C-alpha cells in the first residue's frame, strides 16, 4: 500500500504532462494527429491510475467492477459507433452531442454525491462548504452544458428552428429569471447540502436552452466551443467533489484552453463573443429582410449551358466553394465536373477561404471527402494574386467570402474581413438558389458587376446539369 500512493501520484503527473502536450500539439497541423493520440493515452493512464489506487487501498468490490464494465462498454461502444458513422459534414453537431454528454456525466457525479453524501468526510465546516459549493458549480455548469449542447445539436441538425419569441428582448428576462432561480437553489444547497438540488437542475437546464436557442445556426461552432470550455469547468468542479487533483488540473486546462479557442474562432469570423451570445440569430433577421442593405440593379443571369460554354473555352478555372455547397451536399458532383475539366487540360484550383462554410476547416473536410487532391486547394493569401490571370471563377454557394464590400465599403459590417478577390477574374459565375443574402445578411456587390453572371438553382442540381452540358459538348472525352 505504501508503494501504490506514489505510483498513482506519478501516473497523475505524467497524465497531466501528456494532456498539456496533447492540447498544445493539437494546435499545430504537423503534430495534431499524434497529439490527439497522446491525449487519449493520457486518459487511459489516468483511468488506470484511479483503478490501481483504489484496488490497492480500499479495494474494488465485484459489484463495482460489474457496474464499471457495464458503463464503460455501453458508453464506449456507442461513442465509437457514433464516431465511425457520422458524416464529416455533421461534425459540429456531433461534437456538441459528445460535449453535452461530458457535462451530463459531471452533473450525475455531483447529483450522486449530493443525494448520498458519504459519511467519511471530516474536513470541518470549511471543507463542507467548499464541497457543497463544488457540487453547486458542477450541477449548474453541467446542466447548462448538457441542455445547451443538445439544443445546439438539434438546431444544427435542423430538428429545431429558431422560435421568433427567442429573438425578442423577452428572452433576456427569461434567462435572467432562470439564473436567479438557479442561484437561489444554489444558496439553499450550500446551506443544507440537499434542498434546492432539483431547483438548480431545472433552472440551469432551462437557462442553457434559453441562451442557446436564440443563436443562429451559423454561430453554433463558437457556442459549442464555449460549451466545451464549460464542460472543462464542470469536470474541474467534479474534481473538487470527489477530491481528485488530476481532474481539477485537466478540467481547468480544458476550460481555459477552450475559452482561448472560442476567442480565436470569433476573431476568425470577425465576430465578437458578446454579439454571438446576446445578439440573437444573424441569419434569422437577415432572412426576413430579404436582400438587406440596398437593391440589386444590374443582375445578369444565365443557364448552365452558357456556363458550360465558358468553361470549355477557359484555360484556368478557379472554384470557390461555400456554405451552399455543403448544404447541397454537392461536393461529389463538383469533383466529377472538375475531373471532366481536367481531362480537357483545363487547370482547376480551389480557393479556400478560412471561414467559408459553417465551421472552421469546413471546406477542407468537404473536399477531402470528395477526394480532391490537396495540391489543388489554395489558401486565400496564395490564390488572391492569381485571380487576374484566371479565365473563369465558379462560385458555388459562397457569398460573404467573395463580397468586395469587405475591402471597399468602410461602413459595411464585413469591412476588414479578408475576402477572395474573385471580381478580378475575367468571368465569374455565381451558383445559388436565389438572391438571398449569406450569413452576414448583407448585399453582395459582386453580383452587380458586369463580369458576373448568376446561375440560379440548387448547387447539386446546377452542377449535375453542368456535367451533362460538358459531356454533350464533348469536353474532356479524350477524343
Which are the catalytic amino acids?
400
35 contact, one of ligand NAP, another protein, none, CB 5-8 Å limit per kind: another protein
State the residue for C-alpha cell 464494465: 69
The residue count for binding another protein (CB under 8 A) is 122
- The footprint of ligand NAP on residues 436-465 (CB under 6 A) is 436, 438-440, 458-459
Look up residue 260 and give its three cell numbers. 482561448
124-157 and 220-242 helices cross at what angle (nearest 10)?
150
Nearest to 25 by CA among 7, 41, 5: 41
If one asks whether residue 104 binds another protein (CB under 8 A), the answer comes out as yes
If one asks whether residue 356 binds ligand NAP (CB under 6 A), the answer comes out as yes
433 contact, one of another protein, ligand NAP, none, CB 5-8 Å limit per kind: ligand NAP
Look up residue 27 and give its three cell numbers. 494546435
Nearest-approach distance from CB 89 to ligand NAP, in angstroms: 12
If one asks whether residue 204 binds ligand NAP (CB under 6 A), the answer comes out as no
Q: Are 444 and 438 in contact (CB under 8 A)?
A: yes
Q: Which of 114/398 has CB closer to ligand NAP?
A: 398
- For 72-88, b where at least 16 C-beta lie within 10 A, e where not — what string? eeeeeeeeeeeeeeeee
Q: How far apart are CA 383 and CA 190, in angstroms?
A: 59
Give the Cβ contact number of residue 123 at 10 Å. Answer: 11
Residue from 1, 125, 126, 274 binding another protein (CB under 8 A): 126
Nearest-approach distance from CB 42 to another protein, in angstroms: 8
Q: Which of 105/212 has CB closer to ligand NAP?
A: 212
175 contact, one of ligand NAP, another protein, none, CB 5-8 Å limit per kind: none
Rg, the chain, Cα only: 27
Nearest-approach distance from CB 324 to ligand NAP, in angstroms: 2
If one asks whether residue 275 binds another protein (CB under 8 A), the answer comes out as no
Which x/- pattern, by CB under 8 A, does the window 212-251 give for another protein? ---------x--xx--x--xx-xxx-xxxxxxxxxxxxxx
Q: Is 125 exposed, middle or buried (0-12, 13-18, 19+ CB in 10 A)?
A: exposed
Q: Are 388 and 425 in contact (CB under 8 A)?
A: yes
Q: How far apart are CA 447 and CA 311, in angstroms?
A: 19
Strand partners, 379: 352
Q: Which of 184/365 has CB closer to another protein?
A: 365
Q: Name the strand (E) or helix (H) holding 392.
A: strand 392-396
Q: What are phi and psi of 270, to 5 degrees?
A: 65, 35
- Sign of the dihedral through C-alpha 437, 439, 445, 446: negative
- For 427-464, b where at least 16 C-beta lie within 10 A, e where not — what string? bbbbbbeebebbbbbbbbbbbbeeebbbbbbbbbebbb
Q: Which of 197/466 has CB closer to another protein?
A: 197
- The footprint of ligand NAP on residues 290-349 (CB under 6 A) is 322-324, 327-328
- The footprint of another protein on residues 21-40 (CB under 8 A) is 22-24, 26-29, 32-33, 35-37, 39-40
397 contact, one of ligand NAP, another protein, none, CB 5-8 Å limit per kind: ligand NAP
- The footprint of ligand NAP on residues 389-408 (CB under 6 A) is 397-401
If one asks whether residue 62 binds another protein (CB under 8 A), the answer comes out as no
19 contact, one of another protein, ligand NAP, none, CB 5-8 Å limit per kind: another protein
Chain positions contacting ligand NAP, by CB under 6 A: 218-219, 221, 269, 322-324, 327-328, 355-360, 362, 397-401, 431-434, 436, 438-440, 458-459
Amino acid at each position: 500500500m505504501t508503494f501504490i500512493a506514489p505510483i498513482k501520484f506519478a501516473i497523475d503527473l505524467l497524465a497531466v504532462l501528456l494532456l498539456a502536450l496533447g492540447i498544445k500539439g493539437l494546435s499545430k497541423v504537423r503534430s495534431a494527429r499524434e497529439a490527439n493520440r497522446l491525449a487519449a493515452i493520457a486518459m487511459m493512464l489516468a483511468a488506470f491510475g484511479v483503478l490501481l489506487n483504489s484496488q490497492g487501498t480500499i479495494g474494488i468490490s465485484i459489484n463495482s467492477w460489474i457496474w464499471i464494465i457495464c458503463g464503460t462498454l455501453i458508453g464506449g461502444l456507442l461513442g465509437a459507433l457514433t464516431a465511425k458513422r457520422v458524416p464529416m459534414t455533421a461534425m459540429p453537431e456531433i461534437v456538441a452531442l459528445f460535449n453535452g454528454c461530458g457535462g451530463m456525466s459531471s452533473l450525475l457525479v455531483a447529483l450522486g454525491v449530493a443525494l448520498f453524501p458519504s459519511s467519511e468526510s471530516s474536513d470541518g465546516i470549511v471543507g463542507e462548504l467548499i464541497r457543497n459549493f463544488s457540487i453547486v458549480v458542477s450541477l449548474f455548469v453541467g446542466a447548462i452544458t448538457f441542455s445547451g449542447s443538445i439544443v445546439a445539436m438539434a438546431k444544427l441538425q435542423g430538428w429545431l428552428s429558431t422560435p421568433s419569441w427567442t429573438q425578442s428582448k423577452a428572452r433576456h428576462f427569461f434567462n435572467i429569471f432562470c439564473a436567479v432561480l438557479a442561484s437561489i437553489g444554489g444558496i439553499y444547497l450550500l446551506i443544507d447540502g440537499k434542498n434546492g438540488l432539483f431547483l438548480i437542475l431545472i433552472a440551469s437546464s432551462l437557462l442553457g436552452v434559453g441562451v442557446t436557442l436564440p443563436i443562429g445556426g451559423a454561430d453554433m461552432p463558437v457556442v459549442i466551443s464555449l460549451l466545451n470550455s464549460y464542460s472543462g469547468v464542470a469536470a474541474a468542479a467534479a474534481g473538487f467533489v470527489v477530491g481528485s487533483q488530476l481532474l481539477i488540473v485537466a478540467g481547468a486546462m480544458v476550460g481555459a484552453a477552450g475559452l482561448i479557442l472560442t476567442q480565436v474562432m470569433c476573431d476568425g469570423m470577425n465576430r465578437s463573443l458578446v454579439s454571438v451570445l446576446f445578439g440573437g440569430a444573424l441569419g434569422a433577421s437577415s432572412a426576413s429582410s430579404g436582400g438587406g442593405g440596398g437593391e440589386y440593379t444590374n443582375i445578369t443571369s444565365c443557364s448552365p449551358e452558357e456556363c458550360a460554354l465558358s468553361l470549355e473555352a477557359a484555360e484556368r478555372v478557379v472554384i470557390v466553394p461555400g456554405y451552399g455547397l455543403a448544404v447541397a451536399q454537392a461536393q461529389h458532383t463538383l469533383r466529377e465536373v472538375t475531373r471532366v475539366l481536367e481531362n480537357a487540360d483545363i487547370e482547376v484550383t480551389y480557393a479556400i477561404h478560412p471561414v467559408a462554410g459553417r465551421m472552421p476547416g469546413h471546406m477542407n473536410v468537404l473536399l477531402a471527402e470528395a477526394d480532391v487532391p490537396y495540391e489543388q486547394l489554395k489558401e486565400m493569401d496564395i490564390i488572391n494574386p492569381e485571380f487576374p490571370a484566371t479565365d473563369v471563377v465558379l462560385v458555388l454557394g459562397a457569398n460573404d467570402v467573395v463580397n468586395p464590400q469587405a475591402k471597399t465599403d468602410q461602413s459595411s459590417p464585413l469591412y476588414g474581413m479578408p475576402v477572395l478577390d474573385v471580381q478580378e477574374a475575367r468571368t465569374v459565375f455565381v451558383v445559388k438558389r436565389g438572391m438571398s443574402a449569406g450569413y452576414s445578411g448583407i448585399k453582395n456587390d459582386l453580383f452587380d458587376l458586369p463580369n458576373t453572371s448568376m446561375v440560379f438553382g440548387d448547387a447539386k442540381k446546377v452542377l449535375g446539369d453542368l456535367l451533362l452540358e460538358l459531356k454533350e459538348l464533348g469536353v474532356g472525352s479524350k477524343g
